[in-house]
Amino acid sequence: MDGRIVRIAELDIDPAQLAAYRRLLAEEIEASVDNEPGVLMLHAVSEKERPERIRILEVYANRDAYDAHLQTPHFLKYKAGTADMVKGLKLVDADPVMMRGKTLDQRHELG
């Protein structure tokens, strides 16, 4: 392996604040992937049957990239802004089996 960090975050959100949470998360993901070279992928979905249950597939280039991510203004804003919305958070470390999307470039990055 090449030091990449792959993880699934599982979050339970206060249903009363779900719309606000989704906005803050979407904003944070856009800022991270657009501005941080080492944030390779953030794919966040909500379960259809339990929309307050959020899962995020995260890929970072390496540990340094992840540590740097935690200190960025956009991440700190997300973390502070959502602190009282997040009722549960579980982080599941993972290894890729095969990750493919439609784009050649991404295939080379993550395949």
CA dist 82 → 52, 73, 106 (Å): 13, 14, 30
Measure the CA–CA gap between 14 and 87, rounded to whole angstroms.
Answer: 6
Provide, rounded to whole angstroms, the least separation between the CB of residue 93 and its own copies: 4
Residues making up the chain, counted from first to last: 111
Choosing from 4, 29, 65, 78, the residue that interacts with its own copies (CB under 8 A) is 29
Measure the CA–CA gap between 9 and 21, rounded to whole angstroms.
Answer: 15
Contact stretch for its own copies (CB under 8 A) within 26-34, 62-70, 75-83: 26-34
Q: Segment 48-77, which members bind its own copies (CB under 8 A)?
A: 48-49, 51, 54-55, 57
Provide, rounded to whole angstroms, the least separation between the CB of residue 44 and its own copies: 4
